[in-house]
Structure 1
Amino acid sequence: MLIADDEALVRAGLRRILESAPALTVVGEAADGADAVRAAARYRPDVLLMDVRMPGMDGLAAAARAAAAPGAPKVVMLTTFDLDEYVHDALRAGAVGFLLKDTPPRDLIAAVHTVAAGGAMLAPTVTRRLIRHYATGVPARTEQARDRLTALTDREKEVLRAVARGLSNAETGRALFMSEATVKAHVSRTLAKLGVANRVQAAIVAYEAGLLG
């Protein structure tokens, strides 16, 4: 994985935490957004852990570039604040989630494993709150999101609700009385129909459309 933060002490602390886990390897560090994009292209990390606010090219712009590149890493944003106005745009740009900088070491390691395995940083309460905060209240967005939901079957909408609540495939299966494999297939079809890249972006559409009430 790759760490991008403009503060050397923060990078050092993150590296020390992550490299304490036997299955994680930090392949490089970057001090700003432009450096992060170059390093991602050079090292091809599975996960890019990137600060939102950095000098020059900030984390938001860097996330969009890194996520759009061939062999893109899973981008997770780091922020000091749990209501950072840039995070919603970062998720739209292709980031799969975000973490607060005061996340406990054990949770940080678990989160990186989750993302590397193809998951999204949606389950933490702070993530759901932030997505809900920034993805609602804009009439034009709400109408567009509702139009996108018309392509879904009733079952796919049920699965989307579960995704937006942060449930895993296994938890969704138990809630909707489906096998995990069936849930995974529904999720894949739902993402394709909505034209989104991951579960976090699908959750944003669900919140914008008011699917969760």
Structure 2
Amino acid sequence: MHLLAHRGYHAKLPENTLTAFASAVEVGFEGIETDVRVSADNEPVLFHDRVAPNGVAVAALTRKQLSEVCGYTVPTLTEALDALPGIWWNIEIKTPAAASLALPILSDYDSSHRLLVTSFRHDVVLAAAEMLASDCGLLNAHRPAALSTLLHAALPHPNLRTLVWDCEIVDPDILRQANALGFRNAVYGAKTLYEHQLMQELGVHTLITDYPQYVGLLPG
């Protein structure tokens, strides 16, 4: 099972920062999951929440202003990809506006970096699959009544073969169905050691986790 650090190793460091990313690699993660949004000065910034700590929308703040509010330098997508070129990057694109900036950048790294491009906006993922050769994945916060309804749009795109599930909604049946149709399963949101071990027992391809203390406790 492949292990990605959710927003980097942020137990003692600000999440989605270059130091959190480097620390995650140091403790044994294969790669990083991070989030792309657009700042007011049209920068593709790595920031998860829609609203900054001061209550102002990220989209209404320049990168400099956002960094001042947070108390650390908020990196851009390009800075992160350049800083750690040899790892696996799961780039979650938060909005269509972020996609308009991120996808052209990712196309420049398509052949040199290992990428997995995901979004809860499935229209964004389809656009990424058309533009890039890199792997793409559909983020899911709900369990569909029928898997076919979710996969119909993905099937024409051979690089769109990853489904990313919330740990709370995933179950063995849907994992088996996805595998039988040629899709890999990734999971986010596992919180306990038991959940981490269960995901491995269920044959999950990739686990996106906030808990580096469990990395060394999973069977190799």
Between structures 1 and 2, the one with greater helix share: 1
Q: Which has the higher contact order (CA 8 A, sep 6+)?
A: 2
TM-score between both structures, scaled by the size of structure 2: 0.33
